[in-house]
Amino acid sequence: MKVALAIERMDPLRGGRETYTARLAEERARRGHAVTILCQQRSSEPSGEGASFVEFGRTGLTRRRKLERFVADVERQATRAEYDVLRAMLPVPAADVYHPHGGAVPASVEASLGRRPAVVRPVARRLKRLNAARRLSAALERRIVEDGRALCVCVSPLVAGQFRRHYGAEAPLRVVFNGVDVPDAEGEERADRRQRIRYKLGQEPGDVVFLTVATNFPLKGVAECIAAFARYFHGRRRGCCDRLVVVGRENPEAYSRYAGMRDVGRSVVFVPPTKDVFDWYAAADCFVLLTWYDPCSLTVLEATRWGIPSITTEHNGAADVLRDGGGIVLAGPRDLAGATAAMETMADPDSRAAAAAACRKWAGYLTMERHVDELMGVYEEARRRR
């Protein structure tokens, strides 16, 4: 099958949908499909092994104009190359498969407003309406749904619910739950990584390391995570050496001050983006993502496949894999008492071991191979619908 994958940027260090697209391209190429990644720009970092690239360049003075140009470039290239299937993560009306990793556009707007204080929410809502690029995205997405030609792939039941809520039952929806790749969870290398990183942190075997990995710190609840950790830390035994590690590309200066104001400045460690993120998973005892919105967090799935319990919120589509004991799901990031109690629960070795065992039951399902198998079924359906 001749497949085109359309995405604005390709930079594997950004994580999320860009890392996912690269891995998806590699897996499809390995299976013998001709895969082309259509993007505005790509980094010099290797990504998408086995795929070819068409790089359009980023043109246009505004975000709206850049989106218009990207949509036009993708549609022109698709007509010229005659792909069997065109899959787009952005709302490209010519796509055969619309696969929005960010969920439905109106839902992402709701999530952004939801984390604002109630008193400023009406003003924030009006400002959102002035965002020309977002308005264009919303209009293009509605056009895709109302046209009914493209299959809309939802990365979780949460996202499917968003489409039904905002567009009714019109869209042809297919839920394909996310999958992830992880290194060997049982190998000696994991134990070596754990020992090396925890030694670097100054951790004893009985100390607890909480981990969060995020690109957008405000959206992923990093401030709330620090606040909950401070409550937890000061309620622990005297001389507690537990740590919270935050991995991400955001400038940590303000968050470091925030931790210092809560007297946990030395216990919260910030790590820049790294290709060796599984070093930090290896060192962790519990993963925490107090997100305001995440259609289906790949980081929670990675932790789950590695048998690491997670604490997250109802706003995360990946929470579905934690509900049978693999972690704790909170109503939202503002539930600091609940987050603190969850950390206390996960600090208990017996509770943590039981949650880790529940996580490992999902390991076989959360694979990239299963995910690609299901996607290929959707692609075949999309090709027949042409």
Mean pLDDT value across residues 103-126: 72
Q: Tokens 């009006």 correspond to what residue? A: 126
Residue 328 has pLDDT above 90, yes or no: yes
Q: What is the 3-state secondary structure (H, E, C) of 141-159?
A: HHHHHHHCCCEEEECCHHH
* pLDDT of 26: 86
Crossing angle (nearest 10°) for helices 336-347 and 349-360: 90
Q: Which CATH architecture has domain 188-360?
A: 3-Layer(aba) Sandwich (3.40)
- Chain-centre distance of CA 140, in angstroms? 23
Q: Where in the chain is the domain with CATH 3.40.50.2000?
A: 2-177+367-385, 188-360
Tell me the pLDDT of the chain averaged across its residues. Answer: 90
H/E element, 65: helix 63-81
Nearest-angstrom CA–CA distance, 358 and 355: 5
Least confident of 86-95, 137-146, 164-173, 328-337: 164-173
β-pairing, 97-98 with 243-247?
unpaired
Burial classification of residue 307, based on how many CB atoms lie within 10 Å of its CB (0-12 exposed, 13-18 middle, 19 or more buried): buried
Mean pLDDT value across residues 73-89: 93
Mean pLDDT value across residues 176-180: 94
Nearest-angstrom CA–CA distance, 138 and 65: 15
Q: Which of 115, 103, 98 is nearest to 162 (CA)?
A: 103
Residue 334 has pLDDT above 70, yes or no: yes
What's the whole-model pTM score?
0.89
Q: In terms of pLDDT, which residue wins out, 47 or 279?
A: 279
> At residue 230, what is the residue type?
A
Nearest-angstrom CA–CA distance, 232 and 150: 48
Q: Which two tokens stand for residue 363?
A: 């390991």
Q: Tokens 């820049």 correspond to what residue? A: 272
Q: What is the pLDDT of residues 144-171, one digit of tens each?
A: 999 999 999 999 999 999 999 999 866 7
- In words, the CATH class of domain 2-177+367-385 is alpha beta
> At residue 56, what is the residue type?
F
Burial classification of residue 215, based on how many CB atoms lie within 10 Å of its CB (0-12 exposed, 13-18 middle, 19 or more buried): middle
SS3 88: strand
What b/e readout covers 161-188, taking b as 16+ CB neighbours within 10 angstroms?
A: bbbeebbeeebbbbbbbbbbbbeebeee
SS3 9: strand
Give rounded-to-5 percent helix, strand, coil for the chain: 50, 15, 35
Nearest-angstrom CA–CA distance, 310 and 321: 10
According to DSSP, the residues that pair with 158 across neighbouring strands are: none
Q: Which of 4, 2, 1, 11 is nearest to 54 (CA)?
A: 4
* pLDDT of 236: 84
Question: Using 50, 70 and 90 to split pLDDT, how confident is the model at 314?
Answer: very high
Q: What is the pLDDT of residues 1-38, one digit of tens each?
A: 899 999 988 876 666 778 888 888 888 888 888 999 99
